[in-house]
Chain A
Amino acid sequence: MLSQDAIQKIDREIAKYPAEQKQSAVMAALAIAQMEKGWLSTETIEAVAGHLGMAPVAVYEVASFYNMYDLAPVGKVKITVCTNLPCALSGGVHAADYLKQKLGIGFNETTPDGRFTLKEGECMGACGDAPVLLVNNVRMCSFMQPEQIDRLLGECQ
Chain B
Amino acid sequence: MAKIEIDGKQVEIENGRTVIEAAHLAGIYIPHFCYHKKLSIAANCRMCLVQVEKAPKPLPACATPVTDGMKVFTASEQAVKAQKGVMEFLLINHPLDCPVCDKGGECELQDLAVGYGSSASRYQEEKRMVVPKEVGPLISTKEMSRCINCTRCVRFGQEIGGIMELGQAFRGEHAEIMSFVSNSVDSELSGNMIDLCPVGALTSKPFRFTARAWELSHRRSVSPHDSLGSNLTVQVKNNRVMRVLPAENEEINECWLSDKDRFSYEGLNSGERLTKPMIKQNGAWQEVEWQAALEYAAKGLRQIADGAGAEHIGALATPHSTLEELYLLQKLVRSVGSDNVDFRLRQSDFSADGKQAGAPWLGMPIAEINTRDRILLVGSFLRKDHPLLAHRARDAVKKGAQASIVHSADDDLLMNVANKAIVAPDAMANVLAQILKALAAEKQAVVEASVQSAEVGSAAAAIAKSLASGERVAVLLGNFAQQHPQAAQLQVLGQQIAALCGGKFGFLGEAANSVGGHLAKALPRANGMNAAAMLAAPRKAYILLNVEAELDTHNPQQALVAMKAADLVVALSAYKHQATDYADVLLPIAPFSETSGTFVNTEGRVQSFKGAIKPLGEARPGWKVLRVLGNLLNETGFEYDTSEAVRDEALSGVDVAAQLNNAVQGVALETAGAGSGSLQRVSDVPIYSADAIVRRAASLQNTRDAEAPCALMHGAELSRLGVHAGEQVKVSQGEGSAILVAAADDRLPQGVVRVAAGHAATAGLGAMFGAVTVEPITGGRA
Q: Which of A42, A55, A64 contacts B169 (CB 8 A)?
A: A64
Q: Which of B164, B170, B171 contacts A57 (CB 8 A)?
A: B164
Cα–Cα, bound, A58→B154 (Å): 10
Q: Which residue of A lies closest to B179 (CB)?
A: A57
Cα–Cα, bound, A55→B155 (Å): 13
**Residues 14-48 of chain A: 1 if any B CB is under 8 Å from the residue's CB, otherwise 0?**
00000000000000000000000000001001000
A61 at the interface (CB under 8 A from B): yes
A56 at the interface (CB under 8 A from B): yes
**Residues 47-72 of chain A: 1 if any B CB is under 8 Å from the residue's CB, otherwise 0?**
00000000111101100110000000
- Chain B contact residues: over half helix, strand or loop, or mixed? mixed
Cα–Cα, bound, A66→B181 (Å): 18
Q: Which residue of A lies closest to B169 (CB)?
A: A64
Tell me if B180 and A56 are in contact (CB < 8 A): yes
Tell me if A55 and B168 are in contact (CB < 8 A): no
Shortest CB-to-CB span from A83 to chain B, Å, is: 13
* Residues 154 to 197 of chain B near chain A (Cβ within 8 Å): 163-171, 178-181, 183
Tell me if B179 and A65 are in contact (CB < 8 A): no
Q: Which of A42, A45, A58, A64 contacts B164 (CB 8 A)?
A: A58
Residues of A close to B180: CB separation below 8 A: 42, 45, 55-57, 60
Tell me if B167 and A55 are in contact (CB < 8 A): yes
Cα–Cα, bound, A55→B163 (Å): 7
Residues of A close to B181: CB separation below 8 A: 42
- Chain A contact residues: over half helix, strand or loop, or mixed? helix
Shortest CB-to-CB span from A2 to chain B, Å, is: 18
Residues of B close to A58: CB separation below 8 A: 164, 167
Using C-beta atoms within 8 Å of the partner chain, give the interface range for chain B: 10 to 19
Tell me if B164 and A55 are in contact (CB < 8 A): yes
Shortest CB-to-CB span from B324 to chain A, Å, is: 45
Shortest CB-to-CB span from A51 to chain B, Å, is: 16
Tell me if B170 and A55 are in contact (CB < 8 A): no
Q: Which residue of A lies closest to B167 (CB)?
A: A57
Cα–Cα, bound, A54→B93 (Å): 31
Shortest CB-to-CB span from B23 to chain A, Å, is: 32
Residues of B close to A57: CB separation below 8 A: 164-167, 169, 178-180, 183
Interface size on A, residues (CB 8 A): 10
Q: Which residue of B lies closest to A55 (CB)?
A: B164
Residues of B close to A42: CB separation below 8 A: 180-181
Q: Which residue of B lies closest to A65 (CB)?
A: B171
Q: Which residue of A lies closest to B176 (CB)?
A: A64
Shortest CB-to-CB span from A124 to chain B, Å, is: 16
Cα–Cα, bound, A63→B276 (Å): 59
Residues of A close to B163: CB separation below 8 A: 55
**Residues 68-109 of chain A: 1 if any B CB is under 8 Å from the residue's CB, otherwise 0?**
000000000000000000000000000000000000000000
Tell me if A55 and B171 are in contact (CB < 8 A): no
Tell me if B170 and A64 are in contact (CB < 8 A): yes
Given contacts A42-B181, A56-B180, contact A61 B169 (CB under 8 A): yes
Tell me if B167 and A60 are in contact (CB < 8 A): yes
Residues of A close to B179: CB separation below 8 A: 57
Shortest CB-to-CB span from B135 to chain A, Å, is: 11
* Residues 207 to 253 of chain B near chain A (Cβ within 8 Å): none
Residues of B close to A56: CB separation below 8 A: 180, 183
Residues of B close to A55: CB separation below 8 A: 163-165, 167, 180
Cα–Cα, bound, A70→B183 (Å): 21
Cα–Cα, bound, A87→B132 (Å): 34
Residues of A close to B183: CB separation below 8 A: 56-57
Tell me if B169 and A60 are in contact (CB < 8 A): yes
Cα–Cα, bound, A42→B182 (Å): 11
Residues of B close to A45: CB separation below 8 A: 180
Shortest CB-to-CB span from B332 to chain A, Å, is: 53
Cα–Cα, bound, A65→B165 (Å): 17
Tell me if B168 and A61 are in contact (CB < 8 A): yes
Cα–Cα, bound, A64→B163 (Å): 20
Shortest CB-to-CB span from A67 to chain B, Å, is: 9
Cα–Cα, bound, A18→B453 (Å): 43
**Residues 42-80 of chain B: 1 if any A CB is under 8 Å from the residue's CB, otherwise 0?**
000000000000000000000000000000000000000
Residues of A close to B167: CB separation below 8 A: 55, 57-58, 60-61
Cα–Cα, bound, A56→B183 (Å): 10
Q: Which residue of B lies closest to A67 (CB)?
A: B171
Cα–Cα, bound, A45→B169 (Å): 13
Shortest CB-to-CB span from B103 to chain A, Å, is: 24
Residues of B close to A61: CB separation below 8 A: 167-169
Q: Which residue of A lies closest to B166 (CB)?
A: A57
Cα–Cα, bound, A45→B183 (Å): 14
Residues of A close to B164: CB separation below 8 A: 55, 57-58
Cα–Cα, bound, A56→B165 (Å): 8
Shortest CB-to-CB span from B645 to chain A, Å, is: 53
Q: Which residue of B lies closest to A63 (CB)?
A: B169
Cα–Cα, bound, A65→B176 (Å): 11
Residues of A close to B170: CB separation below 8 A: 64-65
Cα–Cα, bound, A55→B180 (Å): 9
Cα–Cα, bound, A56→B179 (Å): 9
Shortest CB-to-CB span from A33 to chain B, Å, is: 16
Shortest CB-to-CB span from A84 to chain B, Å, is: 11
Shortest CB-to-CB span from B87 to chain A, Å, is: 26
Cα–Cα, bound, A57→B169 (Å): 8
Shortest CB-to-CB span from A70 to chain B, Å, is: 14
Shortest CB-to-CB span from B175 to chain A, Å, is: 8
Residues of A close to B166: CB separation below 8 A: 57
Cα–Cα, bound, A61→B163 (Å): 15
Shortest CB-to-CB span from A148 to chain B, Å, is: 29
Cα–Cα, bound, A38→B181 (Å): 20
Residues of B close to A64: CB separation below 8 A: 169-171
Cα–Cα, bound, A3→B109 (Å): 49
Shortest CB-to-CB span from B342 to chain A, Å, is: 44
Q: Which residue of B lies closest to A56 (CB)?
A: B180
Cα–Cα, bound, A55→B178 (Å): 13
Cα–Cα, bound, A148→B327 (Å): 90
Residues of A close to B178: CB separation below 8 A: 57
Cα–Cα, bound, A56→B170 (Å): 14
Residues of A close to B171: CB separation below 8 A: 64-65
Residues of A close to B169: CB separation below 8 A: 57, 60-61, 64-65
Cα–Cα, bound, A106→B181 (Å): 26
Cα–Cα, bound, A45→B171 (Å): 18
Cα–Cα, bound, A61→B170 (Å): 7
Shortest CB-to-CB span from B334 to chain A, Å, is: 55
Cα–Cα, bound, A3→B165 (Å): 27
Cα–Cα, bound, A140→B690 (Å): 61
Cα–Cα, bound, A61→B168 (Å): 6
Residue among B164, B166, B167, B183 with the most chain A CB within 10 A? B167
Residues of B close to A65: CB separation below 8 A: 169-171
Residue among A57, A64, A65 with the most chain B CB within 10 A? A57
19 interchain pairs, CB-CB under 8 A: A42-B180, A45-B180, A55-B165, A55-B167, A57-B164, A57-B166, A57-B167, A57-B169, A57-B179, A57-B180, A58-B164, A58-B167, A60-B167, A61-B167, A61-B169, A64-B169, A65-B169, A65-B170, A65-B171
Q: Which residues of A contact B (CB under 8 A)?
A: 42, 45, 55-58, 60-61, 64-65
Other contacts beyond A45-B180, A56-B180, A64-B171: 11, CB < 8 A: A42-B181, A57-B167, A57-B178, A57-B179, A57-B183, A60-B169, A61-B168, A61-B169, A64-B170, A65-B169, A65-B170
The 3 closest A-B pairs by CB, nearest first: A57-B167, A55-B164, A57-B180
